[in-house]
Amino acid sequence: MTDFSYVRTEMLEERPAPTSQTGIVKWLRENLFSSVPNAILSIVALWAIYFTLSHLLPWVFQSSWTATSLKECRASIAAAHGEGTTGACWAVIRERYLQLIYGFYPADSYWRPNLAFIMMLVALAPVLFNSIPKKMMLFTALYPFIAFWLLWGGSIWLPLSVIAGFVLGYVALNVVSKASSELVGMIACAVVPILWFLFFAGPVADIMQGIIPISLESVESAKFGGFMLSILIGITGIAFSLPIGIVLALGRQSDLMIVKVICVGFIEFIRGVPLITLLFVASTLLNYFMPPGTNFDIILRVIIMVTLFASAYMAEVIRGGLAALPKGQYEGADSLGLDFWQATRLIIMPQALKISIPNIVSTFIGLFKDTTLVSIIGLLDPIGLSTNIRADQYWNGIIWELYGFIAVIFFVFCFAMSRYSMYLERKLQTGH
């Protein structure tokens, strides 16, 4: 009997998926050739990439690493790859990379900035990652004083006496707050360290150095340079601009008229002036406002100006985060009976910082790149050192190799900050 049923009585064997729906072909169709305009743009982009790499890669790899001058470098490339061949002269990087990294820092003391850099990574770890024990925050707080002593040298008792000033301020805050009021305690916390720094820190350090001499060879700021100088200015500006920016943002939203006017005036003035102008003020005009005979370190002046400049922009970033919070968050804090500082610390500021993460990191990246501007006022950052290297008769005329090396190092640092920002956004789920 013939079976005319419309329902299949046996299962068909499995067949592989169509080639157009799997693997690289599917990816290409979905991402590069999903439509006619997309296909045209993809072809143009692929041609541009091919054109760029076909000219760039031979220049990068048909190069010389052993020459001692630009002329010798070009001669060795021509001998190895044929007359008329152009290639990179990486020999200048091999010969001057230490100078580009350390500037004119004494060669026998390179271990000091190296150790300071490693300790910086350790100090940043508990700030950047929650898995690190919070007891490490004590080392993070002490690191600026350790790094100062390692880089500049001198007596160890000077940074220790500065630490003592902050300890005295903390003691004054607790003692005076219990005896009087919290406001008076905060005033004492600010006044006591200032008096200590002005009148007692130096003499006490000298006395202790006479009793127990512990010191490193002093290195003057004129010998600082290269990426060491850029990292020093950039990391210091980043570390101090965030808390100052938070204070300025809160002050701008304060109900106290004097506080608000001061914060608004500072923010608008700094944001209305180019950074290079502030650097010129730091390098030339600032000494005119100091008492006669005062020796105000040039690097310290630049760090102060860079930090203030970044703080003004950071304040607006934080203010944007505060403005983005729903009004219910403020009302919820009030309903819990929290005062202003408790609400700000526990509810408002964590959410505002979470919202502002991308803009905060963008400001940090911009600040780190802006450290190259210090070359205009005579500090030998990598850009300033590249100018000095090109002035050497042996390397006169070399450009792209130096700037390429500097660009790669800056890219590594800025890319790392960008990746950390994305990691933090995913961890905190900023979009939710």
Q: How does pLDDT run across 319-346, given as a tens digit for each residue? A: 988 888 888 887 787 788 777 778 888 8
CA distances from residue 273 to 153, 305, 314, 364 in whole angstroms, order as listed: 35, 12, 15, 19
One-letter identity of residue 359: N
- For residue 118, pLDDT over 90 is answered with yes
Per the DSSP assignment, residues forming a β-bridge with 216 are 154
Q: Is 3 helix (H, G, I), strand (E, B) or coil?
A: coil
Q: What is the pLDDT of residue 294?
A: 62
Q: What is the pLDDT of residue 184?
A: 77
- For residue 431, pLDDT over 60 is answered with no
Of residues 96, 52, 54, 59, the one with CA closest to residue 77 = 59
Tokens coding 429: 């789920």
Of residues 230, 231, 232, 223, the one with CA closest to residue 106 = 223
> Average pLDDT of 109-113?
93
Q: What is the DSSP letter of 380?
A: B
CATH architecture assignment, domain 96-428: Orthogonal Bundle (1.10)
Other Cβ atoms less than 10 A from the Cβ of 216: the count is: 15
CA-CA distance, 346 to 352, in Å (whole number)?
11
Distant-in-sequence, close-in-space partners of 117: CB < 8 Å, separation ≥ 6: 231
CA-CA distance, 399 to 403, in Å (whole number)?
6
Q: Which residue has the tokens 């990816």?
A: 27
pLDDT band at 430 (very low <50, low <70, confident <90, very high): low
Query: Cβ distance 257 to 326 under 8 Å?
Result: no
**Least confident span in 41-55, 76-90, 106-120, 333-347:** 333-347
> Average pLDDT of 72-92?
86
Of residues 102, 86, 91, the one with CA closest to residue 402 = 91
CA-CA distance, 249 to 237, in Å (whole number)?
17
Other Cβ atoms less than 10 A from the Cβ of 334: the count is: 12
Q: What is the pLDDT of residue 189?
A: 83
Domain range annotation of the chain: 21-92, 96-428
